[in-house]
Amino acid sequence: MKTNALLAAMMMILCMSCGDNQKEPAVENSNPPGKVTNVTVDNQPGQAEITYQLPSDPDLQYVKAVYKLNSGVIREVKASFYTNSMLLDGFGDTDIHDVEVFAVNRSGIASEPEIVRVKPLENPIWDVRRSLVVKDDFSGFNVSAENPAEHGVAIEIMMKNELGKWENLEGIETKLPTINQSKRGLDTLSYEISLTVRDRFLNYTDTLYTTVNPLYEVMLDKSKFKDMRLTGDAPIHLSTHPMSNMWNGVYAHTNSNRWLTNPSPDIYAPQVSTIDLGVPVSLSRITIFNWSYGTSTITGNRMMYGGEHLRYFEIWGMLGYPPNVASFDGWVKLGDFENIKPSGLPHGEETQEDFDVAVKGFDYTFPIEYATKVRYIRLKVIKTWSDTPPLTYGIAEIDVYGDTR
């Protein structure tokens, strides 16, 4: 028994030694490979793509490029010997930059550098900066800009506090071609703010300074909301999915106790639901929260753009007690709305930004030109994210804001 145990231990050590030896080059090669040749440069916004001819060396492992960024950081980019091109990114200006390009063998021995001169085009952060617009919004301000290159950018936002010192606010990080976000939670005072655009390589634009004056609004007391079922309104799916689930204060995206409808007799017709808000109000915005289900390209139970979730819908309002009829006579349209998936990816695919936006809730602002006092609203769902009937829809939670003065 002892002999067998000793033999097994020796075999294990031998196997481990063999495994370790396989990680090392079979033969050290101290001869540097030849240089890359016939290099061509394609200058692009904030970056440059180089294409080259590899040296005819059977021991070649990869090609690397070394250059300095505006921040002073030395950047190194590598490409395997299976390709003959690489992308050099991180440039913050349109100056000429010298790039050292090396061929490297399996022993880590580099060739003499091939000096390549690149002259990148203007960094995409400047497109964002030139198009940056800041407007007063309800309880805060709105930031909009265009990002045609769909480059990953961050808009850093600061605000002066009561002592006159600048403090950081939560910024905006996105790759979307159109940027449109509101920052809320501010009183109806005057605030000095600053905005700067940067990329992940710490290239910065100049700073936009402006003053904002948030518009007045309050969040309505949801304990006053009531189900106002009128003739022709969408039938409830189950007693466990009543309309009151939309204002039960449960915001977790895993919450399945949502308001959910059943198909109407005409499965192609829009579905309508009526809510008594409890008080007369000039509506400013409504936030709609979806629930998650299904799997996603990221992981787990996260799908927020599919099935019964709203995609196209209208909201109508009325101040006086509504007649119990299906007609919209006497109702005033307060807005047409679309739920937009930030990435634009097809069903079943999503980005982290898609998910984060959905968890925060979808904000829909009522056009000011439609502003009027109402107490009752009708939600008219034109289309959900499901492309096939029967048309049913669901909502996990709503927050409603406006001026009740």
Q: Check if 125-212 and 218-403 are the same fold.
A: no
Output the pLDDT for position 7.
47
The pTM for the full model equals 0.76
User: What is the distance between the alpha carbons of residues 97 and 50, in angstroms, rounded to a whole number?
Assistant: 13
User: What is the distance between the alpha carbons of residues 12 and 369, in angstroms, rounded to a whole number?
Assistant: 79
Distances 363 to 118, 320, 321, 337, 388 between C-alpha atoms, Å: 44, 26, 27, 10, 26
**Tokens standing for 266?**
């005409």
Residue with tokens 């000095």: 192
Distance of CA 393 to the CA centre of its chain: 24
| CATH H-level superfamily of 37-118 | Immunoglobulins (2.60.40.10)
Q: Give residue limits of the domains in the chain.
A: 37-118, 125-212, 218-403
Output the pLDDT for position 296.
57
Phi, psi of 348, rounded to the nearest 5 degrees: 90, -10
Give the architecture (CATH level 2) of 218-403.
Answer: Sandwich (2.60)
β-pair partners for 146: 178
Distances 288 to 43, 300, 310, 311, 400 between C-alpha atoms, Å: 44, 22, 9, 11, 9
Output the pLDDT for position 218.
94
* Closest by Cα among 226, 229, 271 to 394: 271
**Tokens standing for 400?**
């409603």
User: What is the distance between the alpha carbons of residues 55 and 63, in angstroms, rounded to a whole number?
Assistant: 10
| CATH H-level superfamily of 125-212 | Immunoglobulins (2.60.40.10)
**pLDDT tens, N- to C-terminus, the chain (405 residues):** 444 444 444 455 444 444 444 444 456 888 899 999 999 999 999 999 999 999 999 999 999 999 999 889 999 999 999 999 999 999 999 999 999 999 999 999 999 999 999 999 999 999 999 999 999 999 999 999 999 999 999 999 999 999 999 999 999 999 989 999 999 999 999 999 999 999 999 999 999 999 999 999 999 999 999 999 999 999 988 888 899 999 999 998 887 788 999 988 888 889 999 999 999 999 999 999 998 876 556 655 577 888 899 999 999 999 999 999 999 999 999 999 999 998 888 887 888 888 889 999 999 999 877 789 999 999 999 999 987 778 899 999 999 999 999
Opening angle at CA 21, ends 20 and 27, nearest 5? 150
